[in-house]
Amino acid sequence: MLRAYSETVPWEVRRAGSRPVTSTDWLHSAHSFAFGAHYDPDNLAFGSLLALNVDQVEPGDGYPRHRHASVEILTWVLSGVLEHVDATGNRLVRPGTLQYLSAGSGVEHAERSGSPVEPVRVVQMWLAAAEADGPPRYRTADPPLADGGLVLAASGRRPAPIGLRQPAAELFLGRPAAGSTVPLPAAAYLHLFVLDGVVSVQAADQRDRLAAEDALRATGGQPIVLTVEQDAELLIWAMNTT
């Protein structure tokens, strides 16, 4: 079942500095939603998106082996090298590669920096799965972002580099250049996360400016146009109910 953020608030900007942060000697993690010790009953999810964390993991042990079930986990590597460890072995994931782990009925894995001297920085996103069981799935893909437009990177309802077990959700990635204009996908729940750069967004009666790690949450399928003020990198979830 999908958990909705709001049916009545059509537009909300969440600033980078408003996120709760987990900080240890090996991890710095900024959470867009309630996560771990940072419980917030008013910010549990948006559409089918359950978590969006920007993590910097220092060299060393990293996340120890732990279990997930009934969740889709997508990880976009920003810098460094991510090492993913599960029962099938160790895999190294580099910038420009999207990693997908569908937990299905249950899977254990560990994650750490793949370098003994350099940290790894990633965005990790958790998505509610429409199927609660089934075998785990793992896949990586390198979405073609060279043209600067939006690229469909993951989808549960049409062909994409990553096939999700959630037919209500699609993930778009983009690196549009300054001066370009990008119509955003229309969806019941639209989540825009600005990884880098500065953009402005405009709907019929609203306009906002977003910088690095700001997020826009919009509902109702309203047409939204994004204008790039400084070269940007974007993560966009377009989600509908099933």
Model's pTM, two decimal places?
0.93
What is the CA angle 229-176-126, rounded to 5? 105
Cβ atoms of 123 and 195 closer than 8 Å: yes
Name the percent of the chain lying above pLDDT 70: 95
Instruction: Name the band, by pLDDT with cuts 50, 70 and 90, for residue 66.
Output: confident
> Lowest-confidence range among 134-138, 171-175, 215-219, 233-237?
134-138
| Comparison of pLDDT for 230 and 134, the residue scoring more | 230
pLDDT at 28 over 90: yes
- What was the pLDDT predicted at 71? 87
Q: Check if the beta carbon of residue 184 is closer than 8 Å to that of residue 232.
A: no
Number of Cβ within 10 Å of residue 115's Cβ equals: 14
The mean per-residue pLDDT over the stretch 8-15 comes to: 82
Residue 94 has pLDDT above 90, yes or no: yes
Closest CA to 98 of 131, 67, 76, 127: 76
What would the pLDDT profile of 99-146 be if each residue is shown by its tens digit? 999 877 777 878 999 999 999 999 999 999 887 778 888 999 999 887
> 9 pLDDT band (50/70/90 cuts)?
low
Domains in the chain and their CATH numbers?
A: 12-141 (2.60.120.10), 150-239 (2.60.120.10)
Tens of pLDDT, residue by residue over 81-92, are 999 887 677 789
pLDDT of 131 reads 76
